[in-house]
Structure 1
């Protein structure tokens, strides 16, 4: 209870009109400095670079969702996320070359191992998965709905009691009339908190772009790759088992990527603009558009920062309010400004793409494979002057959301190297992997090494078994229901099987 005054005071400050006005003033001032730096070449860098964020959740010995003790974060080298059951491991950026990609793979594996060791000391385990489905002991509704009112401030029991999270939660609750609802096939959830967002976990590859002039080329190409790549990687087809009645029609009706729906519906609740806070972004014309969009975005849970973040790069430390607002500028692909570039002066800065639509994958090798596919593909498409950006933006958006709903069965949208529009999966994936190889060769990787990295994901399109983890999950649940299990029983049985396999050495294509 000792944190109550700080949490209450933080929410009160965030709601203060004078604080909001000063926050927006500082954002505009910092944004103008960034625009000037982009135009002057200050954010151009010497190299492409790559990085990764990986989110997961913890379970106990019975595979039930479990809170993570504070000491795990102190020992495990991982970071906290919204829910007390969530964790995140980050791989610091490396130069995008053969050595840097290999270092990324080593760092991601070592970080996951360190988190697993720290959790293991608490009789817990991390699960590399995109949505938890075995409920905690008290049940999903009790867990997600547990809140306490403290001097008019809602504090969710199982949310990290960080002022930023609590202020954001209260902002969205105020906008949405005090309740967040989620309607999906077979389930209706309603809670007095945004904590349902903590159902979802993701991986986020990063690609540092050396030239601000060409940043829009990479960003706009990235948008048009999201549908095909998500279709191969979808991994969140079910809510927790106790959210459902015994209705087997849910199996075919539920989206392959519930994670996208959960995040959008949780955060967009009560948004004053029709398009919402979380959405598929539009194309860029110039790198400065990234800055303009952050400034124009609705201000949520503002914080005036008087002390620099010790973890921020020297450049980003001068932009605390802008950086805070960028952190709640949710788009499925977004530009990030000011990070410390690799291999340049200590006070340098960069422009990078944060590729956000991908669910957490079952193994480290699958994760690395997707990271390498994304960064190689973006580099290869632009290097080859591929006409993919001739694909209308609306077609790219619709393809993305079709992949959300139908996973590996989505209707794809693509423009080939010859300029032809196609929806044929074989043609699309032939080009996806061919141009990923082109980008990886340009980065200095040998053909045999490239094949090794891409193999875990590339085989998903070639195997006769379901081509994405979400399809595997649906098939396992269907089999159990056909054998007489209720839908909740079948979901739990599937998830325990998934947990037993996830995190191991066997990539998904061999399940």
Structure 2
């Protein structure tokens, strides 16, 4: 079957009622097996473990967005994402101890370096950034809006032509009336594809929880840390420069984290903020709630796994492929992942872990490692100390998160202290944030000086200077010097690209 027929056939199969019915039946059966395994203790593990996913995009010699050649993925062993300009590198899971944390840093650096070397050979470069803002030569509208119809199936030119992506794109388009829209300060976008989602890139720390009975507590703690951690890491205040007219008011009005409205807007159609398929997650009462919510979530673009084996899946996950597919489109800003093989166990082992998804890609590997260590150390520290943060109302945590999306480090934070007091004072929140991260790292065996040095690139941002504020300030300076807003954004972005990926952490920019 040729490529065109394969894509068209995949969409047709995905929309077939019989496919959907079979898919849903298999998800129910697989979900029931997982529930039984959680209850029996099969997903309990010996210890905490950590991992990381890091996404970026690629530019050419002119610093404009560029397509990643297929050969680069083979040579650099990095993964593909929705857009042809995207790449992803992963660090395989390690034990959450001093050696494992050091290994994580080495693996992330090695994987980024391998991608950079492979791209350099074809005169391209990776960018560690949360949103591309210098468009390709044809312009953002032409790039994101380029589609063709093949036997009634929409195929976006600059989307990876993987059947899963194309089927998903067509289902969401149908649900959205054929157009994906985004309205943010200074820009109104509308495209006949979900490719707008590929504007944004992120990092996703993972934390394996050894005791599944404790999983809900760690998950609910994660929800309540999202706003404060995002306030230290926000990095996506601008869309591509050619999306804007020359209106300097955009600089102050634009959210610090446009990734969030871009992703939610790409998928959720007209759902109100905080609702729809991409949203802030609900609290858990039991570990099996993770499974129940995936099973009950609305099915998008079902795929039967009969001829779609995943060579990277663990033996356990290879038996849950329909469930795993549905979990992949269960978009929440924190979610539970079932079935990964625990570190150092028998080949048929399985686990339950937290995937922490709200954070933007950071400017350097050291900043990325610091963010990963902050998240996993904080969750472990809060959990082992039985910190009362879960007493913070869920609505307050949700509102804090979206306030940070808008206002970055100037947002109203929400926290409950170790003494049980409600606070919005940033100094108090950050004091506890880093104190309990150190507690978690100490329990993992990290020496205090190692923990301090690893956390320093993020802790030094407590003064409110984070990547999004740096970007806004650079754009403001350029506009004050006489540049138009689009030119100022491009000027800022070129400066960012020259600094990003190097050895100088953001706090020293």
Fold match by TM threshold 0.5: yes
For residues 38-117 of structure 1, the aligned pairs below 5 Å read 38-117=38-117
Report what 1:499 is aligned to. Answer: 497
CA distance in 2, matches of 1:281, 1:22: 28
Report what 1:14 is aligned to. Answer: 14
CA distance in 1, matches of 2:275, 2:20: 22
Report what 2:391 is aligned to. Answer: 390
Offset at residue 275 of structure 1 (A): 2.3
Report what 1:146 is aligned to. Answer: 146
CA distance in 1, matches of 2:271, 2:185: 23
CA distance in 2, matches of 1:437, 1:446: 10
Report what 1:490 is aligned to. Answer: 488
Give secondary structure in 2 for the equivalent of 1:245: coil
Report what 1:348 is aligned to. Answer: 349
Is this contact kept in 2: 1:175–1:270, CA < 8 A? no
Give secondary structure in 2 for the equivalent of 1:214: helix
For residues 242-281 of structure 1, the aligned pairs below 5 Å read 242-269=242-269, 275-281=275-281
Offset at residue 272 of structure 1 (A): 12
Offset at residue 271 of structure 1 (A): 6.7
Q: When the two structures are aligned, how many residues end up with a matched partner? A: 508
CA distance in 2, matches of 1:386, 1:228: 16
CA distance in 2, matches of 1:272, 1:237: 21
Is this contact kept in 1: 2:274–2:280, CA < 8 A? no
Report what 1:196 is aligned to. Answer: 196
Spell out, residue by residue over 1:124-148, the C-alpha distance to the aligned partner (whole angstroms, 9 max, x if none): 0000000000000000000000000
Task: Pick closer, same or farther for the CA change 1:273–1:26 going to 2, 3 Å.
Answer: farther
Report what 1:208 is aligned to. Answer: 208
Q: Is residue 409 of structure 1 aligned with residue 410 of structure 2? A: yes
CA distance in 1, matches of 2:453, 2:466: 19
Task: Pick closer, same or farther for the CA change 1:271–1:175 going to 2, 3 Å.
Answer: farther
For residues 442-457 of structure 1, the aligned pairs below 5 Å read 442-457=443-458
Report what 1:125 is aligned to. Answer: 125
Report what 1:240 is aligned to. Answer: 240
Offset at residue 273 of structure 1 (A): 12
Give secondary structure in 1 for the equivalent of 2:10: helix
Give secondary structure in 2 for the equivalent of 1:294: helix
Task: Pick closer, same or farther for the CA change 1:172–1:47 going to 2, 3 Å.
Answer: same
CA distance in 2, matches of 1:160, 1:202: 18
CA distance in 1, matches of 2:272, 2:24: 17
CA distance in 2, matches of 1:52, 1:271: 30
Q: Which runs of 4+ in 1 moved over 3 A?
A: 270-274
CA distance in 2, matches of 1:7, 1:446: 53
CA distance in 2, matches of 1:274, 1:17: 30
Report what 1:367 is aligned to. Answer: 368
CA distance in 1, matches of 2:330, 2:270: 16
- Bigger shift: residues 426-435 or 1-10: 1-10
Give secondary structure in 1 for the equivalent of 2:440: helix
Spell out, residue by residue over 1:385-417, the C-alpha distance to the aligned partner (whole angstroms, 9 max, x if none): 100000000000000000100001010000000
Give secondary structure in 2 for the equivalent of 1:79: coil
CA distance in 1, matches of 2:190, 2:439: 47
Q: Is residue 230 of structure 1 aligned with residue 250 of structure 2? A: no
Is this contact kept in 2: 1:175–1:271, CA < 8 A? no
Report what 2:35 is aligned to. Answer: 35
Alignment gaps of 5+ in structure 1: none
Spell out, residue by residue over 1:313-358, the C-alpha distance to the aligned partner (whole angstroms, 9 max, x if none): 0000000100000000000000000001101111000000000000
Offset at residue 77 of structure 1 (A): 1.1
CA distance in 1, matches of 2:46, 2:474: 48
CA distance in 1, matches of 2:72, 2:177: 36
Is this contact kept in 2: 1:172–1:270, CA < 8 A? no
